[in-house]
Structure 1
Amino acid sequence: MDGSSPPTVEDARSFAGVPDGTERLWTPHRMAYIGGENKPSDPDDGEQCPFCSAQHRTDEDALIVHRGRVAYVILNLYPYNAGHLLVCPYRHVADYTELTDDEVREVAELTRTAMRVIRQVSAPAGFNLGMNQGPVAGAGIAAHLHQHVVPRWMGDANFLPIVGRTKAVPILLADTRRLYAEAWPEGDGSGGS
């Protein structure tokens, strides 16, 4: 550049998907969720909270896999991957540090059992586990803590979400819930049924 012509400004959208040394997980299928679909207008209102309201519905209707004593396991309605489970305390509490000792133990034990059940039913190659604490950290429902248990398979992140804006989930949520619930062990250590 000799300083006589203005710099060329390129539209960043033309670079989507171009390798640049940064690994990205593109999930455009989740835009409905990110945009607020089914989110409570008042996040602190337990009546509007999807995790609180799920507790009062049937397991089949709410996609609950297992009910423990102080926590329960539910399928994610907007899964990152097939079989994506959430482990939630019954109490409407936002922060991990607010959990009681009993809740910490049961959330941990239900997470371990969920991994065992998913391995038995679906044979994943690995898992992503985690809690997003606060909206800035990616929590869609930040007011009610939940632990993600996401099974992963080789090749499960393919071209479909990027090119076709489509996520291939090879099994219906209701079928996944039924299979996981049927495989859930009787004595899972959570104190629930």
Structure 2
Amino acid sequence: MVLQTVFFGICVLTDLSHLLLSSNKRIVLFLQQLRDLTFSSLAFPIGLFVVTSFWSIYAFDRELVYPKVLDSIIPQWLNHSMHTVVLPLLLLEVFASSHHYPSRKRGLFALIFFCLLYMSWVFWIHYASGIWVYPLLAKLDAVGRGIFFTISLLIAVPFYCLGEYLTWLRWGARKPAKKKRKSK
């Protein structure tokens, strides 16, 4: 939810820069590139991953991701805003706004780097407090956690490609042209 909020904050800044700073093309261009990179590499693939993984695990055993005890603390609307509403908003964004995807190498690097940073944060929280952020991780041994995180990362990569494909379907080819090699 934080990532989605940051992304939509960048969208607002980008739109305001178009209105108020149209003479300063550098700032406008920087914000557009930041918005597009954030959406393509983080907001779309991670948002889709959160929705699909949360509800898949919840359907299997809700105690692994959202223990029943949380029902009395976190209202249902808040749970759905974190784990459901994200998907329709992402799809609306794909079809309402054109985003220039970076090169696949750069986009996947940003996604994988962010995922590794997030995984490090999850492990640091456990190290500092002795509590796993997600109850599922407490049920797994070290090998199981390694497999879980590896599979999670491998699932995020096709979600990146799906976002790229949906953007292409809606908006056509929007990638920068590849540089041609000089022939000798």
Return the TM-score normalized by structure 1: 0.25
Structure with the larger RCO, 1 or 2 (CA within 8 Å, 6+ apart): 2
Structure with more of its chain in helix, by fraction: 2
Larger radius of gyration: 1
Structure with more of its chain in strand, by fraction: 1
